[in-house]
């Protein structure tokens, strides 16, 4: 067995307060394409000026560009199912090990898997609100509206509905809660994140314990000291955590 599998399982067993930072790798592993790649959602939605999609000023000026993207994105996340790794995190939460998840993703797959404490620092699509009267709409309601309306409008006042996503020009969400979660953790699992985007990339360094990074590809670990970084695993998430879960469950029985 891979030595890193054993070490990860052992650190999980020894920990009482695990925090998770999850990134795009968790989503692509669930079959949701990335945004910018050659087969990404921007390409599939035939969007020529993607830099304006999440620009908050442009959204208020012309929300049709965003909803051209969002219609395609909702098709993917509505059909996507949580991965093994999503479900393993639920097990760790039930076992009392995992105290919370900070995610950079906007697909709500952690909640769909059953995780209870999830901080979506870039927001999510689970909830949507009218920009005028603040009437709330679910993801399913927007999914239905978007099939018949180019731009979904509020049933109450007729204004544009905006998903609770963080656009460029808006502050990230739950930063204080995320910082407190990391500060009180004795182990941080960074899953599917290259640690390239701040402020999320800085959060794992706040732990009093160790950090394990599992990401297929390069990792920018500028904010992690050698003392805090246990190791980096360059492997596909589900492949790695199926082995970790087996070893963890064996150690639990001892």
Distances 163 to 4, 67, 142, 160 between C-alpha atoms, Å: 39, 10, 9, 10
Sequence-ordered list of residues with C-beta below 8 angstroms from that of 3, at least 6 positions apart, any chain:
none
CB 152 within 8 A of CB 193: no
Q: Return the bridge partners of 39, or none.
A: none
Q: Residue 218, exposed/middle/buried by CB under 10 A (0-12, 13-18, 19+)?
A: exposed
Q: What is the DSSP letter of 168?
A: B
Three-state secondary-structure class, residue 200:
helix
* Residue 126: both structure tokens together: 């689970």
CB 102 within 8 A of CB 121: yes
Q: What amino acid positions are annotated as catalytic residues?
A: 122
Buried b (16+ CB within 10 A) or exposed e, 154-170: beeeeebbbbebbbeee
Distances 186 to 56, 121, 192 between C-alpha atoms, Å: 37, 21, 20
Cis peptide before 199 (omega within 30 of 0): yes
Distances 171 to 111, 131, 218 between C-alpha atoms, Å: 22, 17, 27
């Amino acid at each position: 067995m891979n030595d890193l599998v054993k070490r990860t399982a052992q650190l999980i067993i020894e920990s009482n307060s695990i925090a998770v930072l999850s990134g795009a790798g968790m989503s692509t592993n669930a079959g949701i394409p990335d945004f910018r790649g050659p087969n990404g959602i921007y390409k599939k939605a035939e969007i020529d000026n993607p830099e304006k999609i999440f620009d908050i000023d442009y959204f208020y000026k012309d929300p049709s560009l965003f909803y051209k993207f969002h219609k395609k994105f909702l098709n993917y996340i509505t059909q996507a199912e949580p991965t093994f790794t999503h479900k393993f995190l639920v097990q760790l939460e039930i076992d009392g090990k995992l105290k919370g998840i900070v995610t950079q993703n906007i697909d709500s797959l952690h909640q769909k898997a059953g995780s209870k404490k999830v901080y979506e620092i870039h927001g999510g699509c689970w909830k949507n609100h009218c920009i005028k009267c603040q009437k709330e709409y679910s993801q399913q309601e927007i999914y239905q509206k978007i099939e018949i309306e180019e731009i979904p409008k509020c049933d109450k006042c007729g204004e544009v509905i905006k998903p609770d996503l963080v656009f460029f020009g808006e502050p990230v969400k739950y930063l204080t809660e995320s910082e407190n979660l990391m500060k009180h953790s004795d182990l941080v699992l960074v899953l599917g994140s290259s640690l390239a985007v701040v402020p999320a990339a800085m959060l794992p360094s706040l732990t009093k314990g160790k950090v394990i990074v599992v990401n297929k590809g390069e990792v920018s670990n500028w904010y992690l000291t050698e003392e805090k970084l246990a190791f980096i695993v360059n492997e596909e998430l589900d492949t790695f955590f199926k082995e970790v879960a087996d070893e963890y469950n064996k150690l639990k029985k001892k």
